Each structure stands twice: as C-alpha cells, then as structure tokens.
Amino acid sequence: MPVLALVSAVLVITLEQFVQWKYGVAGIIGLLLLTIGIKAKSPGVSSAGAVLLALLVARPAL
C-alpha cells in the first residue's frame, strides 16, 4: 500500500510540473480548480477549471 501511495504522489507531482512548464500559472490554477471541484463535488468549480484548461490547450489552434 505505501508503494501505491508513493507512485501516486510521484505521478501527481510530475503532472503538476508538466502543466506548470507547458501552460504556466494559468494551467496550475485550472488544474487546481478542477481538482477542488471534483473533491468538493461542485460542478461549477470543476467546470471552470476544465474550461480554463481547455482554453489553454486549444489556444494554439485558435
């Protein structure tokens, strides 16, 4: 069980660092809103985070 927690923590930190590197502070805020919204079961907050991340990902195509 501790190995699973360690692997999970490493994956989360890696994902956060990748988002920070690729999309900057706005990407971290979007990921944070999405995570908080899912954990709090708040569709408004999670939707705001998802929309922010989608806009950041689609920005080069626009």
Q: CA 19 to CA 27: how far, in whole Å?
A: 6
What are the residue boundaries of the structural domains of the chain, listed by start?
2-61
Q: What's the whole-model pTM score?
A: 0.71
Local structure of residue 62 (DSSP, 8 states): -
* pLDDT (tens digit per residue) in 9-44: 888 888 888 887 877 888 889 888 988 998 999 999
- The per-residue pLDDT for 62 is 60
Distance from C-alpha of 26 to C-alpha of 16, rounded to nearest angstrom: 12
On the question of pLDDT at 56 being above 90, the answer is no
pLDDT band per the 50, 70, 90 thresholds, residue 7 = confident
Q: What is the pLDDT of residue 20?
A: 77
Q: In the 8-state DSSP scheme, what is residue 33?
A: H
